[in-house]
């Protein structure tokens, strides 16, 4: 499975497409937060922006499932040579964590909203913050490869191989 030499066109499109959609989720989250607290006060404040938060989140969930399926069926290139056991493990765990939160954030949001489950709403917030920490670590790794190691790692997520 790790014999592939690069990410496929679909894997690359999903990686960057989901990043864009995550931006929409983030910028629509205040409206969803207001709708959520209005719901608790017996009011309805579910407008267009909150609906965008919901549907873009559903799209992320579907695309993340497709991404995991591709990852399991096609695999991924081996990590770049030259890493230590520790950095390779951090990279692998970060990737695993990113896949997990891409599934868990929208799922917890859906359970909170459609099941009126407060705990799921809290989990949604906690997982979002955890996701931000993982993305910061992930991007720091990418920047380190690009500008310190200068091994052109980002090319692997730009050109299908
Ligand atoms: C990957 C997609 C999603 C991201 C990145 C995301 C992100 C966020 C963020 C940042 C907040 C504000 C939390 C805070 O103030 O700390 C939020 C709130 C909320 N989102 Fe999402 N969300 C996503 C998908 C969804 C989906 C599909 C639903 C389903 C309806 C949903 C329902 C909610 C609800 C109910 C809240 C209010 C929860 C609370 O304040 O406790 N979200 N979301
Ligand atoms: C500007 C932001 C980002 C940059 C520059 C970036 C860059 C990269 C690069 C270069 C790789 C390939 C690593 C390798 O070849 O070993 C990669 C893989 C990956 N990225 Fe990102 N990324 C970004 C944002 C994100 C976000 C927001 C997520 C998800 C929330 C994400 C999830 C992943 C995952 C799961 C992999 C591993 C793919 C696999 O091997 O299965 N990335 N990223």
95 occurs within a structural domain: yes
107 occurs within a structural domain: yes
CA–centroid distance, residue 42 to ligand 2 (Å): 41
149 occurs within a structural domain: yes
Q: Tell me: the pLDDT tens digits for 5-32?
A: 999 999 999 999 999 999 999 999 999 9
CA–centroid distance, residue 56 to ligand 1 (Å): 11
Instruction: Return the ligand number nearest the Cα of 49.
Output: 1
Per the structure, the count of domains in the chain is: 1
pLDDT of residue 141: 95
CB of 4 closer than 8 Å to CB of 74? yes
Where does 28-84 have alpha helices with state H? 29-40, 48-74
- Residue 10's Cβ-side half-sphere holds a number of Cα atoms within 13 Å equal to 13
Give residue 133's pLDDT band: very low, low, confident or very high (50, 70, 90): very high
**pLDDT for 2 beyond 80:** no
* Residue 69 near ligand 2, beta carbon < 6 Å: no
Look over the chain and give the mean of its residue pLDDT values, rounded to a whole number.
96
1 occurs within a structural domain: no
Instruction: Return the ligand number nearest the Cα of 149.
Output: 2
Q: By CB neighbour count within 10 A (0-12 exposed, 13-18 middle, 19+ buried), where does 109 fall?
A: buried
CB of 111 closer than 8 Å to CB of 117? yes
Domain range holding 41? 9-157
């Amino acid at each position: 499975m790790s014999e592939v030499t690069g990410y496929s066109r679909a894997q690359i499109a999903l990686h960057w497409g989901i990043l864009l959609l995550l931006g929409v989720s983030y910028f629509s989250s205040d409206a969803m937060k207001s709708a959520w607290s209005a719901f608790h006060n017996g009011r309805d404040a579910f407008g267009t922006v909150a609906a965008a938060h919901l549907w873009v989140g559903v799209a992320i969930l579907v695309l993340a499932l497709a991404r995991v399926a591709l990852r399991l069926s096609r695999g991924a290139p081996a990590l770049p040579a030259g890493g230590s056991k520790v950095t390779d493990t951090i990279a692998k765990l970060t990737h695993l964590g990113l896949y997990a939160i891409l599934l868990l954030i929208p799922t917890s949001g859906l359970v909170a909203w459609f099941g009126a489950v407060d705990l799921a709403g809290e989990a949604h917030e906690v997982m979002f913050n955890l996701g931000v920490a993982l993305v910061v670590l992930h991007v720091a790794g990418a920047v380190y490869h690009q500008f310190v190691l200068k091994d052109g790692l980002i090319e692997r997520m730009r050109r299908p191989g």
